[in-house]
Structure 1
Amino acid sequence: MTARLEHVNIAVPDPDATAALLCELFGWHIRWQGPAIGDGWSVHVGGEDDYLALYRPADKTLTDPERYARQGGLNHIGLVVEDLDATEARVRAAGFAPHNHADYEPGRRFYFDGPDGVEYEVVSYG
C-alpha cells in the first residue's frame, strides 16, 4: 500500500489573505473554511486531491523561527506547475521576488518567500 500526501497544515497570521493569494497565483480554490482547534480559524486551499490547511491560533501571535535551522520546522513548500514562466510572472506581479532559479534534471525551478515567512519552491517538469 502506498500513501499519498493529502495536506499540510501551517500556521499563518491571516489565513484568508494567504488563501486568496494562493488562489490567484496557482489557480486553487478554497475547499473549506471555519473555526478550528483552540478557537482558531482555518482555511483549506488547494485542488481536488490535496491542499494546504492555513491555521491561525486564537491569540493570533506567531513567532518567526529561523527556517532551515529549527528541527521539525518547515523549510519550504514545493509546487509543480505546467508553465513555470507564466507562474513566475504572476508571482512577480503580486509583488514577490523569485530567487534561486535553477535548471536541473529533470526540470526547472525558482523559489519565493510568501507573505507569511513561508518559502515556496515552484518547479516545472516539462
Structure 2
Amino acid sequence: MPATLEHANYTVSDGDATAAWMCDLFDWHIRWKGPSLDGGQSIHVGTQSQYLALYTPGKQTSEKPNSYHTRGGLNHIAVVVDDIDAMEKAVIGAGFKTGNHADYEPGRRFYFHDHDNIEYEVVQYD
C-alpha cells in the first residue's frame, strides 16, 4: 500500500482566523486545537483523514521571503473541488483575489493568497 499524506504543518499569524475561512470555504472542521511549541497554539483543520496543522507562535512572526526562491519554502497548498466556478465565487466572496487561471490536462485551476500571503491552488479534475 502506498503512503498517504496525513497533514502538513505551517505557521500563520492567526490560526483561529485561518481555520475559520478554511471551514467556511472548504467545508472542513477543526479536529483539534491546543497549546503548542514555545507558548504557541496549533489548530488541526481538515477532514477525518487529512488536515492542515496551523501553528501560531507565542511571539511576533515575521514575513517570509519569496518561497519560490527559498530552499525548503512552502510554495502553495492545493485543494481539489467538484465545482471550481462555485468555489471561485466563494473565495472572492470571502475577500480573496483570485488569479493565474489555467486549464490543463486533466483539469482546471486557479490560485489565491490568504492574509498571510500563503498561496493556495484550487483544482477541479475532469
Q: Is the 8 A contact 1:12 1:62 kept in 2?
A: no
Output the CA distance in 2 between the equivalents of 1:23 and 1:60. 25
User: Counterpart of 2:71?
Assistant: 71
- Corresponding letter in the other structure for 1:18: T
Identity of aligned residues (%): 58
User: Counterpart of 1:48?
Assistant: 48
Equivalent residues in 2 for 1:80-91, closer than 5 Å: 80-91=80-91
Q: Is the 8 A contact 1:84 1:123 kept in 2?
A: yes
Q: TM-score, normalised by structure 2?
A: 0.96
Where do 5+ consecutive residues of structure 2 fail to align? none
User: Counterpart of 2:106?
Assistant: 106
Where do 5+ consecutive residues of structure 1 fail to align? none
SS of the residue aligned with 2:122?
Answer: strand
Q: TM-score, normalised by structure 1?
A: 0.96
Q: CA RMSD in A?
A: 0.9
User: Counterpart of 1:2?
Assistant: 2
**1:59 Cα offset (Å):** 0.9
Output the CA distance in 2 between the equivalents of 1:5 and 1:60. 30
